[in-house]
Amino acid sequence: MLENIRKSYVEELNKSSISEVKMLANYIQNKDKDGKKPCWGRIVTEVDRIFSNTDLKISLWKDLVRISEENALLLFIQMNKESEDILNEVINDVELLPKNVQKALVALNQTNKKLDKYLPGLSEEVKHFSKAGSKTIKSELKNIEQRLNRIHAIDSCLEHAADNDHHIE
């Protein structure tokens, strides 16, 4: 993302009442000793370090839902897909999520069976996708995982980087 989006993201995180969320905002905003700002790979590592328990992770989730940035939401789900407590919170918020994040939840084995009662509130595209065959759903999950692996692999952002899909700059 461009610098103004990074600034907006940090401002939104700083609205949180949770000190760990503000610590993350500070981390995202600052450059390292080489003059680079962290991108998704380093941010994910920092999230893992700062948010050490389920309650803190759920607090972060609530702020991420409020901000509604697709990459952050998808990475958070990927990081926590083995935590039933966190996934239950994610599912409770499914109607608030961007449609690509909703599709990811339909595709995930850990969540797709729990979404039935929420399907009426989802977009028509996601409803249609939920009825697609397993081959289509598996293909979408593979695409999402590849996208997240590419995003996660980016550790640092230079001030002039222009790759909008992957950078928080």
- Kindly report the CA angle at 21 between 19 and 23, in degrees rounded to 5? 70
Taking residue 82's Cβ as centre, other Cβ atoms within 10 Å add up to 8
Q: Is the pLDDT of residue 160 over 60?
A: no
What's this model's pTM, rounded to 2 decimal places?
0.86
Mean pLDDT throughout 7-35? 92
Q: Name the residue with higher pLDDT: 55 or 161.
A: 55
User: Using one digit for the tens of pLDDT, what is the confidence trace for 53-84?
Assistant: 999 999 999 999 999 999 899 999 999 999 99
Asked if residue 164 is part of any domain, the answer here is no
Q: Which pLDDT does position 80 carry in this prediction?
A: 95
Confidence of residue 166 (pLDDT cuts 50, 70, 90): very low
Residue 21 has a pLDDT of: 96
Cα–Cα distance between 150 and 72 in angstroms, integer?
13
Within a domain: residue 165? no
> 90 with 106: CB under 8 angstroms?
no
Q: Print the domain residue range for 27.
A: 3-155
Tell me, yes or no, whether 140 lies in a domain.
yes
Number of domains forming the structure of the chain: 1
Residue 119 predicted with pLDDT over 80? yes
Token code pair at residue 125: 């595209």
Task: Out of 60-64, 131-135, 161-165, give the one with best mean pLDDT.
Answer: 60-64
In a domain, 66, yes or no: yes
Long-range contacts (CB closer than 8 Å, 24 or more residues apart) made by 40-48: 40/71, 40/75, 40/151, 40/152, 40/154, 40/166, 40/168, 41/151, 41/152, 41/153, 41/154, 41/155, 42/155, 42/156, 43/168, 44/75, 44/79, 44/152, 47/76, 47/79, 48/79
Determine the pLDDT at residue 36: 85
Q: How confident is the model at residue 4 (pLDDT cuts 50, 70, 90)?
A: confident
Structure tokens at 20: 């760990």
